[in-house]
Amino acid sequence: MSTPIKFTINGKATEVAAPPMARLLDVLRRDLALTGSKEGCGEGECGACTVLMNDEAVCSCLVPLFQCEGASITTIEGIAADEKVSELQRVFATEGGAQCGACTPGMIVTIRALLDKHPQPTRTQVREFVSGTLCRCTGYERIFRAIEVLTGQRAAEGVSDNPSNGSLRG
């Protein structure tokens, strides 16, 4: 039983014929071949599947397809808009925000939503907003720092042609 659902994905009008209770995550990954969003737990705890739904960060593993009718969905594949890689993504890579990378798509989508609401977030605001996305590799410190570098609150440490990195050395 498949009803066509119409919505916008990464700015593109899309129609999907799938069961209304199909998980948005499966529709993205299986029907639309957008495999950037990951499944880490399947119960909305880890946030690796986070996408923007009408500019709100949601766990796509918890969203049934029928709720997407008319919605605008942005996945990690659409986060850079017209550029290939957004500044957020680049700084995430250079400042050590990504290690294994399994949480990274959901993390970046969540931080995109954070920065839309708080362009100069404090760590407290980051903690509150991003705590729904789990990272097991980084201890989060380099994620905080990537955000702070992006928003001009901290100097970059991971620039490829800057060998000093003095702040890390004891």
Which value, in Å, is the radius of gyration of the alpha carbons in the chain? 17
Choice between 6 and 123, CB closer to another protein: 123
* Residue in the structure block whose two tokens are 């407290």: 124
Instruction: Select from 90, 118, 151, 153 the one that contacts another protein (CB under 8 A).
Output: 90
Task: Output 14 or 93, the one with its CB closest to another protein.
Answer: 93
Among 60, 73, 92, 121, binds another protein (CB under 8 A): 92
Closer Cβ to another protein, 69 or 162, answer by number: 162
**Judged by CB, which is closer to another protein: 16, or 76?**
76
Angle between helices 123-130 and 141-150 (to 10 degrees): 120
Contact 104, 168 (CB under 8 A): no
- Is there binding between residue 159 and another protein (CB under 8 A)? yes
Q: What is the DSSP pairing of strand 3-9 with strand 72-74? A: parallel
Q: How many CA atoms lie within 13 A of 138 on its CB side?
A: 23
CB of 17 to another protein, least distance (A): 18
Nearer to another protein, 6 or 39 (CB): 39
Residues between 5 and 64 that touch another protein (CB under 8 A): 29, 34-43, 45-46, 48
Backbone angles phi, psi at 30, to 5 degrees: -90, -50
Size of the site for another protein (CB under 8 A): 68
Q: How many CA atoms lie within 13 A of 27 on its CB side?
A: 29
Q: Are the beta carbons of 76 and 50 closer than 8 angstroms?
A: no
Residues 95-134 that bind another protein (CB under 8 A): 95-105, 108, 123, 126-128, 130-134
Q: What angle do CA 132, 61, 125 make, to 5 degrees?
A: 20
Site residues for another protein per CB under 8 A: 29, 34-43, 45-46, 48, 75-77, 79-80, 84-85, 89-90, 92-105, 108, 123, 126-128, 130-144, 157-163, 165, 168-170
